[in-house]
Structure 1
């Protein structure tokens, strides 16, 4: 394979019906908006709130019972189970709002362990909700009859103030597809996923993160539906303690800028990995549904997916982020990020769609980086020196018929995108002149459930088909068409 100089951006090639508004002034610092009185709650950005929460968790020890971000007041709310005035003063001096609660972190973890032992049922999930100081248990539409009775009985056995339960209209499934689309050819057809974030592997080579269920479904990935592989899975975890894959580009000279392609020639430069905080507004980019926003609603979520390889099996994944951001088949592996450039998560799965809503779960990026030894940042040559067509040459084709003759890569070459300007507003990584040799883009990791979808950085030589022609069927149905995850 010839050496390539591809400008590969992450995120979705097709930003259809994007409801999220990434405002040009999103990066304006709010640090100066501190309260007048010493010790009074201060306003802060979501990323700063996440940092402060981590610091207070260490400082407050067992008294710390979770925290969340009040996006309306732009304040961090910290739960304390101790009545120790010194700890309360310490948290307040740090700028947090302090709330005394009943359930400790250890008690909530013990309750989650009971759920795992007694209620690991396909179509169920649970996550800690610090706003209620309880565990939020969710059952999808498949949990009925004896299964529902078993789940309800287990929740009731935890105590009236420990957990709540609700029904979801959809069914939990992995979303293979999203971000910039990536493809792999397997027996029975193609699989498709979304690229999450470009990274640098521990050996210094360019790579990207995507969903683990994509990585266990297929090893070699292409940037076009029937193209030659351009990346190979190095590590993949699914099910178990996470849903993430590290996929290395085959060409060590591949340029893989640290940015998310949000559509309409806009990108968000990814500056750092950040931990999710409940209440934070987040944005998801996927190759199927484009750009959507919502809020983090739970942490340390456990999701019990129905196994697609064993009719009687369960694929349990732990340590996920729960949100109300919508997603659909083909969005798996896609980017979850903050408006100011924080990498938060990788799309795993959930219920519902972008018409009716639902729950969507994400693999924390911080955990994936730690497990794989990868680091965020431009892999290979810098994004700013990429030559090629500028944003102005983008094809006007919609996602359903996207076949731009140039590379559908980089922040400036998304065709048919309708997303609003990204947080970086202008052109943080040279997106205006990104192009490549026509074959560069990131590969994605297909879902292990057999319904892997492609990520959204498809470039190619004009054969990178758009999301509209991808089948939403999973691998398990024996379809010979593209299987979206």
Structure 2
């Protein structure tokens, strides 16, 4: 069946909802702020720097220190990079200090921490558990949700105790680990038992030059064709999807002239231009956009996390995802696939799943964007006829009609933060275009956790192992729909995988 062509379509990417005021206040005044200039002079005292600079320095010092490197994190209070060193050569440590890092001696090497993680994988891969290295404590942080009880809890507790209190810690979290359905700007797909709803993460250019976007992998295995309005004509088709193992999908726009600007909608007519793909740094502040809960911020708390989701498609089975970013940012059903980014325009992650909510708090895990870009061959930036039109002002008189993803008015303008986008411009229902927040956990939406009413028939994801974490150009966020697309449209019925 032929698809409707929309030559001037602008692909929206962020959230159709009300942005959290606290996060917005923190993000908007500082968006696209220039980074501190490094003095270039060697100094023994730790250097004050932005989180992005700390990430770059950490990568350099990891190569310099070799086996002596045992992780690093950003101290936001002091604005310093802290580097862990084990059995370090004095000369190498001096070089690290001269480079501007605060260096501390720790007991556990990176190799020892990875061995501990392998032990957990072999002995305690239990649905409802996760683990990640915490460089602040130099230990593996193990977490169990409320479903881990009885014999399962005893096995997990025994395994952690066997690693030793100086190597691993164990804690309980409320709720249960699940993938979050729906997403940044909502995208929809009709499946056998209802409607699947997800969110678009970042707009990218596929390896063949066509416009596309990244979203959660569990959405891509749940449904193939995606629309920007519930029951609407498909506008994009899944090209690649990985879940479990990893959690990312590359979805290509059917219309090759689709405009896909590299920006994220921060709500209230404000956008953040996405300029680069970025690896997360423990301790840095990050922002998450989602169609259910809007804009929220928090800190990165762990890297290379493993999460064992209860399978939505295999009774009693486990969908394990590796290499995730762990944060204390909240999320809820409908936020899956949405974008995780930094205030200076770094695309960091795609919302995968977690526990808790935005009332009581929780923790959320994200698929690194760098790994998704490397695996799919996509690049960050504009595609098709899209492109950031520069610092253009949004047309205050325009209002987006249903299904017209471009958001409020002619928001094609590039970095609208602090610009003249009119916050009063309205986006009507269905306007949520952003593709994204995938449905169904596990491969498919199972009923249960899902926010939608239906029984989640989304076809389950097969055992798709994900690609490894790579660096690569991160995808840019889409042309976020303009001024606050209403949350109303998001509710999709049906099997929103939870």
Q: TM-score if structure 1 supplies the norm length?
A: 0.86
Q: CA RMSD in A?
A: 3.1
| SS of equivalent residue, structure 1 residue 91 | helix
Q: Deviation digits for residues 37-64 of structure 1, max 9, x if unmatched?
A: 7232111111111111111111211100
Does residue 267 of structure 2 align to residue 258 of structure 1? no
What does residue 8 of structure 1 align with? 11
What does residue 417 of structure 1 align with? none
CA distance in 2 between counterparts of 1:75 and 1:349 reads: 30
Given that 2:401 and 2:431 are in contact with CA atoms closer than 8 Å, whether structure 1 keeps it comes out as no
What does residue 229 of structure 2 align with? 224
What does residue 483 of structure 1 align with? 496
CA distance in 2 between counterparts of 1:389 and 1:73 reads: 37
Q: CA deviation at 1:84?
A: 1.4
Q: CA deviation at 1:159?
A: 1.3
| SS of equivalent residue, structure 2 residue 272 | strand
Number of residue equivalences: 455
| SS of equivalent residue, structure 1 residue 22 | helix
Q: Quick one: structure 1 residues 68 and 61, their matched pair in 2 at CA, closer, same or farther if it must change by over 3 Å? A: same
CA distance in 2 between counterparts of 1:330 and 1:258 reads: 22
1:29 to 26, 30, 34: 34
What does residue 435 of structure 2 align with? 443
What does residue 89 of structure 2 align with? 84
Equivalences for 1:134-153 in 2 at 5 Å? 134-153=139-158
Q: CA deviation at 1:34?
A: 5.0
CA distance in 1 between counterparts of 2:99 and 2:451 reads: 44
CA distance in 1 between counterparts of 2:171 and 2:410 reads: 42
Equivalences for 1:3-152 in 2 at 5 Å? 3-20=6-23, 21-32=26-37, 34=39, 38-152=43-157
Given that 1:193 and 1:456 are in contact with CA atoms closer than 8 Å, whether structure 2 keeps it comes out as no
| SS of equivalent residue, structure 2 residue 74 | strand
Q: CA deviation at 1:32?
A: 3.4
Q: CA deviation at 1:442?
A: 4.5
Equivalences for 1:8-407 in 2 at 5 Å? 8-20=11-23, 21-32=26-37, 34=39, 38-240=43-245, 242-385=246-389, 390-393=394-397, 404-405=401-402, 407=404
CA distance in 2 between counterparts of 1:411 and 1:109 reads: 48
Given that 2:263 and 2:479 are in contact with CA atoms closer than 8 Å, whether structure 1 keeps it comes out as no
| SS of equivalent residue, structure 2 residue 61 | helix
CA distance in 1 between counterparts of 2:281 and 2:133 reads: 11
1:470 to 463, 486, 491: 491
| SS of equivalent residue, structure 1 residue 73 | coil
Q: Quick one: structure 1 residues 468 and 410, their matched pair in 2 at CA, closer, same or farther if it must change by over 3 Å? A: closer
| SS of equivalent residue, structure 1 residue 481 | coil
CA distance in 2 between counterparts of 1:37 and 1:165 reads: 40
Q: CA deviation at 1:87?
A: 1.4
Q: Runs in 1 of length 4+ with deviation above 4 angstroms?
A: 33-37, 403-406, 410-414, 430-435, 438-442, 451-460
Q: Quick one: structure 1 residues 101 and 459, their matched pair in 2 at CA, closer, same or farther if it must change by over 3 Å? A: closer
Say which is worse superposed, 276-285 or 440-449, in terms of deviation: 440-449
What does residue 409 of structure 1 align with? 406
CA distance in 1 between counterparts of 2:423 and 2:389 reads: 10
Given that 1:260 and 1:411 are in contact with CA atoms closer than 8 Å, whether structure 2 keeps it comes out as no
CA distance in 1 between counterparts of 2:32 and 2:394 reads: 24
Q: CA deviation at 1:200?
A: 0.3
Q: Quick one: structure 1 residues 440 and 11, their matched pair in 2 at CA, closer, same or farther if it must change by over 3 Å? A: closer
Say which is worse superposed, 7-16 or 116-125, in terms of deviation: 7-16
Given that 2:15 and 2:291 are in contact with CA atoms closer than 8 Å, whether structure 1 keeps it comes out as yes
